[in-house]
Amino acid sequence: MAEYITIRSSTKEQFIDITGLVQGVIDKMGIKDGLCVVYVPHTTAGITINENADPDVIGDIEGHLDKLVPGSGDYRHIEGNSPAHIKSSLVGHSVTIPIESGKLLLGRWQGIFFCEFDGPRARQVIVKLIKEV
Ligand code: ZN
C-alpha cells in the first residue's frame, strides 16, 4: 500500500517537517510493527531526517548546502537549476524508519523533512508501509 501526500512549498528552498503527516498515514493504515519508507519521486527535492527542535539546525544545513553548491557557477544543464539537482542528490530521496507499537521509532529530537530545492511548487511524497509478519 502506497500513500501519496501532496506538499506545497512556498519558497525556492524550504525544509518542511512532515513527521506528523507520515505518522498520520501509519495511524490511518493501522500498522503496528514494520517499516515506513518515505520517498520523493523528484529530481530537485529530497528527504532527510534531522533535528526538529531547534530550527537553527535546519537553517545551518540550508546555509551550508548553499556554500557547497553555489546558486550560480559553471553549470551545463540548460534548464538552469543544476544547484537544485545537486542538492537533491546530496540529501537523498528516501528514508526508512522502523515502526513499533504503531509509532515511528524516531529519536527524541528527530523529524522527517521534505527538502525543496526548486520551489515554490506542489510536490508528491510517497509513503510505503511494510507490515512485520
Ligand atoms: Zn533541471
Q: What is the DSSP letter of 85?
A: H
State in Å: Cα 20 to ligand 1 middle: 30
Quick one: pLDDT at residue 93?
A: 98
State in Å: Cα 77 to ligand 1 middle: 7
State in Å: Cα 80 to ligand 1 middle: 6
**How many structural domains comprise the chain?**
1
State in Å: Cα 85 to ligand 1 middle: 7
Show pLDDT as tens, one digit a residue, over the chain (133 residues). Answer: 799 999 999 999 999 999 999 999 999 999 999 999 999 999 999 999 999 999 999 999 999 999 999 999 999 999 999 999 999 999 999 999 999 999 999 999 999 999 999 999 999 999 999 999 8
CA distance 26 to 36: 8
Q: What is the CATH number of the domain that holds 67?
A: 2.60.120.460
Quick one: pLDDT at residue 77?
A: 97
Q: Nearest 5°: CA angle at 122, between 49 and 120?
A: 85
State in Å: Cα 82 to ligand 1 middle: 6
State in Å: Cα 86 to ligand 1 middle: 10
Print the domain residue range for 110. 2-131
Quick one: pLDDT at residue 91?
A: 98
Residue 87 Cα distances to 9, 42, 84, angstroms? 16, 12, 5
Q: Nearest 5°: CA angle at 77, between 74 and 80?
A: 85
CA distance 77 to 30: 44
| Length, in residues, of the chain | 133
Residue 62 CB burial class (10 angstroms; 0-12, 13-18, ≥19):
middle
CA distance 127 to 51: 20
State in Å: Cα 97 to ligand 1 middle: 29
CA distance 63 to 78: 25
Closest CA relative to residue 45, chosen from 75, 23, 6, 13: 13
Which residues have CB atoms below 5 A from the ion given as ligand 1? Answer: 79, 81
State in Å: Cα 64 to ligand 1 middle: 21
Quick one: pLDDT at residue 79?
A: 95
